[in-house]
Amino acid sequence: MRLCIVGIGGCGGHLAERFLKNQDVTLLKKSLGEHVSFGGVKGLWLEADVQETENQNFFGSLEGGRYPGYFIPHDVIGPESKTSKLIVDRYGYDVKKQGFMRQAEFLKAVFEIFESDEEVKRVALSEHESENPILRAAWDRIRPYTTLEALKDNNGGSEMCDGILFIVSLGGGTGTGFVNPITRYIRGERPAYPVFVLGVLTEEGVDPQQRAKEAKRDLGATISLYDLTTKKVGIGVDGVILIDNQIMVEKFGQDYSAIDDYIHQAMRPFIAGRHYPGEDPPSLAMREKFIEGLVRPPILVPCYCRERRREDPEENLVKKALSEGKLFGCDPKNAEMAYVFTRGFMGQGEIVKAVARYTGLPEERIEPWRKLGENHWDEILILLRNPYGEERGCEVKGNLEYRLHRVIRMALNYMDEPESSLVSQGMPELTRKAIEDYFYGDDGIQERLKEGLLRIEKGEKPFFLDERNIFERSSRDPGIHESHRASGRQVDDEEIRKLVEAEVRRVLAERDI
Amino acid sequence: MSGLNETVAGVQAADISSSLVPEGLSNALASVSSNGLLGLGLFILILALGAALHRLNMERTYRRVAATTNGGEISGEELREEMFARQGSNFNAAAITAWMLLFAAFAYFYFLTPEIFPRHNYYQVPTLSSGPLGFATFGLMVLVLTLVAAAFVPRELYGYYELSRKTKVAIMLTLPLLAISIVLSIQQGTIFPQVELASRITAFLALFASELALLWPIYVEALGGMR
């Protein structure tokens, strides 16, 4: 599996930088050769705030041909855009707003307008040749790194990415607002293309960088998590890897650079190449394992450990990863499945037995993938699938239910605070009503979150059930991708057959079969 | 030629006494660096040891992977393919250049002036040594002769190790180090029959430090694996 890393928003950008760092040497920061990232990953940074992009020097402008690059999707909307004017006049949203400061609902609303309002669609289509020019532009920048582009160009695509990992901060504005719509957009083209999200939940207390209250961030995180976990498989993402920054801050203090480095290190067994011979499944196969038996995307909790190489390391690594190495609090005994990624020399049977011993899982529900290690270190990353669901588990500190119960509670409290001003009085009536209904209506998010809290307390899985939109779509069916419709092109059986054949050929070629 | 060597020895003795390096160490380095057979042997030994340890590392990896694989049977070719890691074209170019310069620096150090190998050196080829671009031609010939080996070595050696950026930078830094060694050796050739011992010792140290640095990832992997 080779992943395309897409950092979205500030936190996503910082983390993506770790993943995309050039492993080659450079002279005076200029590389004359091809960019070589760890694990062969490729990717980019999607940002909404121009200033953020100017405050760093790792990513260059994709428009200027730089790699790794950043892209500001809403830049495709010109200042005199009719689409933009229509949305401002009708809904009060400025689609060219710089940054979304902890307002997860802002982008959610904007993208739902593009999906639900026929007139906006029509104007956008005539002006930008796309019903949703912002998402189209973003996807057009991601797509060239993926095997989908390789199939289109009829090349082998062995260097291309066969899956996407979005990296976002849960509780931010850009990342949380962007990830669901872009995933939905991708699904319109490829329902089975593997898409995962790495979501970092911000720490407790006041955010020292943006002075944003925890409750406000928690509302953003809750909205984002709600959207991520309620979209059905094939429409939404294939897995949400959760990391709790509270645990990271307890480990590293407020040193966010060290935290980013550690998160990258912990994810290395997942993205690394150099597989054990015959143990490199195509990402489609891995996706199937991740969503096996599920209707909605799973929550995946990473547990990581790294130690100097020694004889029979499996038991010790598994034990430490599942105790001291959890990147989000949870009880491993509640996990439904475990996906194990190792680097070093480890026995498959020993890994499975050790994980079974410490999680109580039957061996057939443990999937190990081994890779060769480096410099005498052994590493293990265990992704625990949905490790929650215990009655009154929310009362046990260190459990996933405990942390998320707190987050949802605080989000609900924030919704009731007069200062939250979720329903802005300055907005047009249509938007005000839709937002009010979304947050406080009988079937609004407030009621659904309360229901979610009850489900957590009872130990029911999943804790969020049905998706909730601000602006209802004309059709919930993602259907054929609008870019295809715009060009009047239909995908027929013959083309599907060719695409499948090409993909199979690529996989077989990769394995020399 | 024996008279020439006596002159060289006299100049060497004078240089040693004026050196800032402790006399004992300076004497030892002068003795080692002037001993052609010892130097040649050491150079080849370090290379041969590197090659042997690389083979050992590969075999050990194979054994360990086989030992942790059900049935213990794996394809060596498949494993080599999986082990291979791209190091980047900047690094590869630097590594190829460094290996070429290593052989050139070695040739300049031991085979330019006659005081180390009186019968086998640049001055034994009059058409070359009396030409206006003699030193450069000598170096270019060595570079051409070692090009194939140098081009093959980085891919075969470094491709199978996970090299950190620091290691890559260290390997890249052998380029200026080897350039210094070459320049100092050329200086020796220019002032010949005089010998400036400090330059000679510096050129010697730069040459062998570079050789060790170029093979460092292999040695580290082998040493770590023995723990």
What does the pLDDT average to over A303-311? 93
pLDDT in tens, A447-478: 999 999 999 999 999 999 998 999 975 433 44
Give Dmax over CA atoms of chain B in angstroms: 71
What amino acid occupies position A40?
Answer: G
pLDDT band at A507 (very low <50, low <70, confident <90, very high): low
Which of A21, A22, A24, A340 is the best residue to mutate to test the B interface, defined by the most B CB atoms within 10 Å of its own CB? A24
One-letter identity of residue A334: N
Separation between Cα atoms, residue A289 and residue A133, nearest integer Å: 34
Average pLDDT over residues A224-252: 93
CB-based contact A287:A385 (threshold 8 Å)? no
Omega before A462 within 30 of 0, i.e. cis: yes
Residue labelled with tokens 């710089």: A98
Cα angle, residue A441 at apex, residues A439 and A446 outer, rounded to 5°: 45
Q: Establish if B76 touches chain A: CB-CB under 8 angstroms.
A: no
Secondary structure of residue A337 in the 3-state scheme: strand
- ipTM value for the complex: 0.79
B83 CB neighbours in chain A (<8 A) are 274, 372
Q: What average pLDDT does the segment A324-344 reach?
A: 97
Range ranked top by mean pLDDT from A219-233, A499-513, B9-23: A219-233
> Taking 80 as the threshold, does the pLDDT of residue A508 lie above it?
no
In this structure, what token pair is assigned to residue A350? 């020993």
Q: B82 vs chain A: nearest CA distance in angstroms?
A: 5
**pLDDT at residue A318, rounded to an integer:** 97
DSSP H stretches of helix in A143-231: 147-153, 174-189, 214-230
Alpha carbons A45 and A68: distance in angstroms, whole number: 8
Q: Report DSSP state, residue A240.
A: E
Distance of alpha carbon A200 from alpha carbon B76, whole angstroms: 41
Instruction: Give every strand in the sheet of A163-170, ordered side by side.
Output: A60-61, A69-71, A42-46, A3-8, A163-170, A195-201, A240-244, A299-308, A377-385, A337-343, A366-371
Tell me if B61 and A374 make a contact (CB, 8 A cut-off). Answer: no
For chain A, the average pLDDT equals 87
Which ranges of A33-153 does DSSP label H, i.e. alpha helix? 50-54, 82-91, 104-116, 118-128, 133-142, 147-153
- Side-chain-side CA neighbours of residue A176 (13 Å): 28
Any chain A CB within 8 A of the CB of B168?
yes
Q: Do A34 and B89 touch (CB under 8 A)?
A: yes
Q: Once rounded to an integer, what is the mean pLDDT over residues A66-87?
A: 91
User: Which is more confidently placed, A279 or A419?
Assistant: A279
Q: So what's the pLDDT on residue A499?
A: 67
**Cα A351 from Cα A177, distance rounded (Å):** 38
- B-chain residues within 8 Å CB-CB of A375? 162, 164, 220-221, 224
b (16+ CB within 10 A) / e for A145-168: bbbbebbeeeeebeebbbbbbbbb
Q: Are A98 and A51 in contact (CB under 8 A)?
A: yes
- Contacts of residue B92 in chain A, CB cutoff 8 Å? 33
Name which of A24, A276, A372 is nearest B87 (Cβ-Cβ): A24
| B64: chain A residues, CB-CB within 8 Å | 345
pLDDT score for A497: 65
Q: Do B87 and A23 touch (CB under 8 A)?
A: yes
Cross-chain Cβ contact B65/A376 below 8 Å: no
**Residue in B69, B70, B91 closest to A24 by CB:** B91
- Residue A150 is predicted with a pLDDT of 64
**Nearest beta carbon to residue A25 from set B75, B78, B172:** B172
Q: State residue A489's pLDDT score.
A: 42
At residue A271, the pLDDT reads 94
Residues β-bridged to residue A27: A30
Torsion of CA A182, A186, A187, A192, to 10 degrees: -130
Cβ–Cβ below 8 Å for A348 and B68: yes
Tell me, what amino acid is at A302? P
pLDDT, mean of residues A243-247:
96
Residues B69/A261, Cβ–Cβ less than 8 Å: no
The residue type at A219? L
Is pLDDT of A439 > 80? yes
Chain segment A105-156, per-residue pLDDT in tens: 888 888 899 989 999 999 999 999 898 999 999 999 999 999 887 655 555 5
Is residue A299 within 8 angstroms of chain B, CB to CB? no
Cβ-nearest to B82 among A34, A275, A345: A275
Q: Which two tokens stand for residue A316?
A: 């010790």
Per-residue model confidence (pLDDT) at position B201:
93
Task: Tokens 């990258």: give the residue.
Answer: A264
Cβ–Cβ of B88/A23 closer than 8 Å? yes
Can you give the three-state secondary structure of chain B, one letter per residue? Answer: CHHHHHHHHHHHHHHHHHCCCCHHHHHHHHHHHHCHHHHHHHHHHHHHHHHHHHHHHHHHHHHHHHHCCHHHCCCHHHHHHHHCCCCCHHHHHHHHHHHHHHHHHHHHHHHCCCCCCCCCCHHHCHHHHCCCCHHHHHHHHHHHHHHHHHHHHHHHHHCCCCCCHHHHHHHHCHHHHHHHHHHHHHHHHHHCCCCCHHHHHHHHHHHHHHHHHHHHHHHHHHHHHHC
Chain B CB contacts of A278 below 8 Å: 74, 78
pLDDT in tens, chain B (227 residues): 444 444 444 444 444 444 456 778 888 888 888 888 999 999 999 999 999 999 999 999 999 999 988 776 788 888 998 898 889 999 999 999 999 999 999 999 998 888 888 888 888 888 887 778 888 888 888 888 888 888 887 778 899 998 988 999 999 999 999 999 999 999 998 898 888 889 999 999 999 999 999 999 999 999 876 54
How many contacts does A have with B, using Cβ atoms within 8 A?
Answer: 85
Chain B nearest C-alpha distance from A335 (Å): 26
Helix, coil or strand: residue A378: strand
Q: Is A276 in contact with B162 (Cβ distance < 8 A)?
A: no
Q: Can you give the pLDDT at residue A176?
A: 73
- B58 and B76 in contact (C-beta within 8 Å)? no
Query: Which range among A48-57, A416-425, B22-31 has the greatest average pLDDT?
Result: A48-57
At A443, give phi and psi (nearest 5°).
-110, 25
Contact A423, A432 (CB under 8 A): yes
Chain B CB within 8 Å of residue A31 CB: yes
Q: What per-residue confidence (pLDDT) applies to A46? A: 94
- If one counts every other C-beta atom within 10 angstroms of the C-beta of residue A466, the result is 10
pLDDT top residue among B196 and A380: A380
* A264, pLDDT greater than 80: yes
pLDDT value of position B9: 44
Q: Nearest residue on chain A to B88, judged by CA atoms? A: A24
- Decide if A274 touches B, using CB distance below 8 A: yes
Tokens of B142: 């060595």
The pLDDT score that the predictor gives to residue B2 is 45
Would you state the pLDDT for residue A3? 93
Torsion, Cα of A60, A66, A70, A72 (10° steps): 100
